[in-house]
C-alpha cells in the first residue's frame, strides 16, 4: 500500500502529524513537492532561493527520495496518485484564501481519479477558526484571543516511527536557484531551524523579554522563515517553552500568539489580504501615482535620508529578512510620512522577505496602517529618530547597514543632518520632514473621522 504525503508548508520530518497519518498502517510514503510555477512567480528571488534550499535539505533528510514534480497541483496530484496506485494524499491543512481554494480544486480532481485528500493538522498550534468569543463570534482583539488561545492549549509534538519511503518514483529534480547577487540568506531546512531554536533556548530566551525590540543586539530567534515554511512547528517550540516560567518564555509565547491571531483574522476575513478591514484616511490622502513610484523607489532602496528607516530597508535587501521593529518603523514611514497605501509596501515586503507570509505580512501591515481589526491607532506614527535613538542607542545597527554613515560615532548617526555635510557626503538628504508629514497624516485621519 502506498500513500502520498504532499509537502507544502511543513518542510520537516519531525512533529509532522500529516506525514505520520500518511505512513500509518504500514503504507509506503511518496514524499512529494509540487513546484507550481504560478505560485513561484509571485515570490521574489530570495523566497524562491530559500524554498529551494529548504527542499534540498528535505531531500537529504529523506535519503534523496523527495519527489519533485513541476506543474499545477490539480494535474500533478491525480497523475502521481495513478502512477503509484495511491488512494490517499495526505496534507496539513491550508488556511489562507488561495490555499483553501487550491485544496478544494485538488480534492475534486483527486476524487475524479479515485483518491482522497486527507487533512491532518495545520501550520498552527490551534487551527484558525477554532476559537470563538463567549458570544460565539470571531475574535477582533488580540488580548482576549491570546487568553482563549492559552486556555485552549495544544497537542504535544507528534511522534511515531520513521516513514518508509516509496522507491523508484520519478522526480523532475529541483531547478537551479535564481541569481541572488549579494544576498546572504539565512540557513534553510529542518536541522538549521532546530539548531537556531536550541541556541535561542540556551542563551536567547533569558534576554528576550527586555531586548527583543533592539535590532543592534541580535536578540530575537530569527525563526520566522522556519515557521513560514514549517521547518519547525510552533507546537515544538511551545512544548519547550512550557518548561520555563521566565518572562522570556512568556514573551515568546505571546509573539507566537500574534502569529495565530493573524491567521485567525484572515480565516474569518479572507479579503483582508488586500483590502483594509476599516478605512482610516480619505481616498485623496494618498500620493498621486507618479509621486508614489518615486516614493517607493527611495524607500525600497533605503535612501530616504532617515538612517533608521534606511538601515531596515537595506537589511531587507541584503538578507531577505528584517528585524521586526524595523518592519514597523519602515512600514509606518511609507504609509504616514510618504503617504503610500499599505498594500504597496506589503507587496514589496512579500517580494523580498524569505519569511513573506500572507497572514503575517498583510495583517501586520494593516496593524501599522491602523486599518486592521486590532490595530495600532492611526495616530500612532513611529518617529524614525526617537525609535533609532531608543532602540539602537549607540547607532551600531545603522552603521552595520548604511556604509555612508560609518564615519559618524554613537547616536549622532541617527540625525546626520545636524552634522556638517562632510561627515557623510554620500548619504542622501531627507526626502521629507517627518514632523510635517506626520501632521499631514493626522489631518487626513481627522478629515475621515469627521
The residues binding ligand FAD (CB under 6 A) are 212, 220-224, 227-228, 252, 255-256, 258-259, 262, 324, 327-328, 331, 349, 353, 355-357, 360-361, 364-365, 368
Contact 183, 46 (CB under 8 A): yes
Residue among 61 and 328 whose Cβ is closer to ligand FAD:
328
Q: Which of 65, 146, 142, 77 is nearest to 106 (CA)?
A: 77
CB of 326 to ligand FAD, least distance (A): 8
CB of 166 to ligand FAD, least distance (A): 33
Q: Is 379 annotated as a binding residue?
A: no
Between the alpha carbon of residue 99 and those of residues 8, 216, 305, the distances in Å are 10, 36, 40
Residue among 349 and 401 whose Cβ is closer to ligand FAD:
349
Residue among 53 and 222 whose Cβ is closer to ligand FAD:
222
Between the alpha carbon of residue 406 and those of residues 216, 315, 419, the distances in Å are 15, 15, 14
Q: Is 54 annotated as a binding residue?
A: no
Question: Count H helices, E strands: the chain?
Answer: 19, 6
Residue among 165 and 349 whose Cβ is closer to ligand FAD:
349
Contact 56, 131 (CB under 8 A): no
- What span, in angstroms and rounded, lies between the C-alpha atoms of 117 and 54? 24
CB of 185 to ligand FAD, least distance (A): 14
* Cβ-count burial 158-184 (b if 16+ within 10 Å, e if not): beeeebebbeebebeebeeebeeeebe
Between the alpha carbon of residue 290 and those of residues 4, 216, 259, 296, 342, the distances in Å are 50, 36, 35, 10, 17
Residue among 59 and 231 whose Cβ is closer to ligand FAD:
231
DSSP state of 304: S
C-alpha cell of 67? 519527489
Q: Is 222 annotated as a binding residue?
A: yes
CB of 220 to ligand FAD, least distance (A): 3
Q: Is 43 annotated as a binding residue?
A: no
Backbone φ/ψ region at 410: left (φ over 0), alpha (ψ -120 to 50), beta = left
Residue among 103 and 357 whose Cβ is closer to ligand FAD:
357
Range list of β-strands (E), 334-413? none
C-alpha cell of 304? 530616504
Between the alpha carbon of residue 234 and those of residues 194, 346, 376, the distances in Å are 12, 24, 25
- Report the residue number whose CB is nearest to ligand FAD: 324
Residue among 307 and 356 whose Cβ is closer to ligand FAD:
356
Residue among 76 and 363 whose Cβ is closer to ligand FAD:
363
Q: Is 208 annotated as a binding residue?
A: yes
CB of 29 to ligand FAD, least distance (A): 28
Residue among 88 and 392 whose Cβ is closer to ligand FAD:
392
CB of 357 to ligand FAD, least distance (A): 4
- What span, in angstroms and rounded, lies between the C-alpha atoms of 296 and 204? 35
Contact 310, 292 (CB under 8 A): no
Q: Is 221 annotated as a binding residue?
A: yes
CB of 331 to ligand FAD, least distance (A): 4
Partners of 119 in the β-ladder: 91
CB of 258 to ligand FAD, least distance (A): 4
Q: Which of 311, 321, 329, 276 is nearest to 400 (CA)?
A: 311
CB of 292 to ligand FAD, least distance (A): 18
Contact 89, 55 (CB under 8 A): no
C-alpha cell of 187? 540557513
Residue among 76 and 127 whose Cβ is closer to ligand FAD:
127
C-alpha cell of 372? 486592521
Q: Is 276 annotated as a binding residue?
A: no
DSSP output for 60-94: HHTTS--EEEES-HHHHHHHHHHHHT-SEEEEPPP
CB of 407 to ligand FAD, least distance (A): 30
Partners of 242 in the β-ladder: none
Binding site membership for FAD: which residues?
Answer: 208, 220-224, 252, 355-357
Binding site membership: which residues?
Answer: 208, 220-224, 252, 355-357
Amino acid at each position: 500500500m502506498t500513500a502520498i504525503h504532499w509537502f507544502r508548508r511543513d518542510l520537516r520530518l519531525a512533529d509532522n502529524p500529516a506525514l505520520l497519518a500518511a505512513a500509518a498502517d504500514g503504507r509506503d510514503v511518496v514524499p512529494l513537492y509540487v513546484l507550481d510555477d504560478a505560485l513561484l512567480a509571485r515570490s521574489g528571488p530570495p523566497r524562491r532561493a530559500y524554498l529551494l534550499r529548504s527542499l534540498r535539505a528535505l531531500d537529504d533528510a529523506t535519503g534523496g527520495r523527495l519527489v519533485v514534480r513541476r506543474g499545477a497541483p490539480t494535474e500533478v496530484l491525480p497523475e502521481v496518485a495513478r502512477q503509484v496506485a495511491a488512494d490517499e494524499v495526505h496534507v496539513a491543512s491550508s488556511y489562507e484564501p488561495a490555499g483553501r481554494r487550491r485544496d478544494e480544486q485538488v480534492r475534486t480532481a483527486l476524487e475524479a481519479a479515485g483518491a482522497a485528500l486527507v487533512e491532518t493538522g495545520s501550520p498552527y498550534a490551534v487551527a484558525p477558526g477554532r476559537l470563538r468569543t463567549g458570544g460565539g463570534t470571531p475574535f477582533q482583539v488580540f488580548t482576549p484571543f491570546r487568553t482563549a488561545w492559552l486556555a485552549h492549549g495544544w497537542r504535544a509534538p507528534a511522534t511515531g516511527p520513521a516513514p518508509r519511503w516509496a522507491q523508484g518514483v520519478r522526480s523532475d529534480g529541483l531547478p537551479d536557484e535564481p541569481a541572488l547577487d549579494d544576498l546572504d540568506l539565512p540557513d534553510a531546512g529542518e536541522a538549521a531551524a532546530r539548531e537556531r531554536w536550541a541556541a535561542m533556548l540556551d542563551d536567547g530566551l533569558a534576554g528576550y523579554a527586555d531586548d527583543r525590540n533592539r535590532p543592534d543586539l541580535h536578540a530575537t530567534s530569527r525563526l520566522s522563515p522556519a515557521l513560514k515554511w514549517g521547518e519547525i512547528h510552533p507546537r515544538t517550540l511551545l512544548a519547550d517553552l512550557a518548561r520555563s516560567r521566565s518572562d522570556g518564555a512568556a514573551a515568546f509565547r505571546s509573539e507566537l500568539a500574534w502569529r495565530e491571531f493573524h491567521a485567525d483574522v484572515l480565516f474569518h476575513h479572507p479579503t483582508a489580504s488586500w483590502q483594509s478591514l476599516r478605512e482610516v484616511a480619505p481616498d485623496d490622502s494618498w500620493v498621486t501615482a507618479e509621486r508614489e513610484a518615486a516614493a517607493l523607489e527611495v524607500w525600497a532602496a533605503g535612501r530616504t535620508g532617515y538612517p533608521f528607516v534606511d538601515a531596515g530597508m537595506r537589511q531587507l535587501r541584503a538578507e531577505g529578512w528584517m528585524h521586526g521593529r524595523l518592519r514597523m518603523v519602515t512600514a509606518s514611514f511609507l504609509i504616514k510620512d510618504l503617504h503610500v497605501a499599505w498594500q504597496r509596501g506589503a507587496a514589496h515586503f512579500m517580494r523580498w522577505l524569505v519569511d513573506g507570509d500572507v497572514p503575517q505580512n498583510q495583517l501586520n501591515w494593516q496593524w501599522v496602517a491602523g486599518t486592521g481589526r486590532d490595530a495600532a491607532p492611526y495616530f500612532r506614527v513611529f518617529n524614525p529618530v526617537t525609535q533609532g535613538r531608543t532602540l539602537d542607542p549607540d547607532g551600531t545597527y545603522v552603521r552595520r547597514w548604511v556604509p555612508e554613515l560609518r564615519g559618524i560615532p554613537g547616536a549622532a548617526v541617527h540625525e546626520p543632518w545636524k552634522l556638517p555635510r562632510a561627515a557623510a557626503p554620500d548619504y542622501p538628504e531627507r526626502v521629507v520632514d517627518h514632523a510635517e508629514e506626520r501632521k499631514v497624516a493626522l489631518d487626513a485621519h481627522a478629515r475621515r473621522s469627521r
